[in-house]
């Protein structure tokens, strides 16, 4: 919806994992398999407006969110980078039983508690897979939320797959698409030709609309650090839909239960159906819709001014 880099060491001079160091902090979380540490970093200071960023993947990193540095600090919004367990600078356990939605939800709740976020200041923003996680968190813990932002993620994986098959794939070069499907069927998605085929027909059209050679460095860095095992297990091996543990996830009918102010951000060229996402915004009792007509899955880069103007207006509106 979317390899591993070395984890940075953010221990204080006293060796306490919870100590802040240059805004960064390792937070200890509890899981059914023991305790691990996840990495966070605070930017800015606003007691009434704090945004926790949930990155995509699963298994990507906070790094592609660095576009936020050019906009949110100047408007006085405090935000937190956060690498989910298994990603980026956080611990990377190898037991795959940890990779399930309920456990990830509990991880976010533990991070919230450690950061001191609460209903008077806590805004949760999830992009792509992070949007799935944000919806699930809100359905269980909305009493702690001030506001919710779902960026570039539909509320149903079956609907997402349907859009890919009904709209996106028919518009692709069918010979290239056939070659992609042949590689996927043979389990050869690590073959270099797989990405050679996908970059011009998928990534440059629906993920970030500019030549791949010109993609921003934070995006390339984040993609290079993806935990491929975690990503494939939950999302599936194909880049043209989902077939992993998330394949049957569908929460569209439950959106009406989320009562906090909620913004849905969609983009014209995204892998996610913008018409569906507009309908999502109407399901939320306090929903709003932001449309990026020049954007794709990473509209924070290819329709940047509209994305951040709309996001900041929403956040200041709930402050």
Catalytic residues: 128, 270, 297
Compute, in degrees rounded to 10, the torsion defined by CA atoms 178, 180, 181, 184.
160
Structure tokens at 25: 């902090």
Q: Could you give the 3-state DSSP secondary structure of residue 315?
A: helix
**Buried b vs exposed e over 106-118: b needs ≥16 C-beta within 10 Å?**
bbbebbbebbebe
Q: How many residues does the chain have?
A: 319
């Amino acid at each position: 919806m979317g390899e591993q880099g070395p984890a940075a060491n953010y221990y204080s001079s006293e060796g306490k994992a919870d100590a802040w160091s240059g805004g960064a902090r390792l937070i200890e979380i509890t899981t059914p398999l023991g305790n691990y540490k996840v990495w966070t970093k605070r930017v800015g200071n606003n007691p009434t407006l704090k945004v926790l960023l949930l990155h995509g993947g699963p298994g990507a990193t906070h790094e592609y969110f660095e576009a936020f540095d050019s906009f949110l600090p100047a408007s006085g919004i405090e935000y937190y980078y956060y690498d989910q367990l298994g990603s980026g600078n956080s611990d990377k356990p190898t037991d795959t039983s940890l990779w399930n939605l309920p456990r990830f939800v509990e991880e976010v709740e533990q991070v919230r508690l450690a950061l001191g976020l609460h209903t008077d200041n806590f805004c949760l923003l999830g992009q792509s897979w992070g949007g799935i996680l944000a919806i699930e968190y809100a359905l269980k813990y909305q009493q702690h939320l001030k506001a919710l932002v779902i960026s570039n993620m539909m509320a149903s994986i079956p609907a997402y797959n349907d859009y890919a098959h009904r709209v996106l794939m028919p518009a692709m070069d069918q010979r290239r698409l056939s070659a992609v499907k042949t590689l996927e069927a043979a389990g050869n998605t690590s073959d270099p030709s797989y990405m050679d085929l996908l970059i011009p027909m998928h990534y440059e059209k629906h993920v970030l609309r500019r030549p791949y050679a010109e993609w921003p460095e934070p995006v390339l860095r984040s993609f290079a650090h993806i935990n491929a095992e975690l990503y494939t297990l939950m999302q599936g091996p194909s880049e043209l839909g989902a077939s992993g543990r998330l394949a049957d996830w569908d929460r569209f009918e439950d959106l009406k239960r989320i009562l906090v102010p909620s913004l849905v951000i969609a983009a014209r060229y995204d892998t996610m159906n913008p018409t569906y996402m507009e309908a999502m915004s109407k399901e939320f009792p306090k929903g709003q819709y932001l449309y990026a007509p020049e954007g794709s899955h990473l509209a924070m880069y290819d329709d940047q001014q509209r994305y951040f103007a709309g996001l900041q207006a929403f956040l200041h509106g709930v402050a």
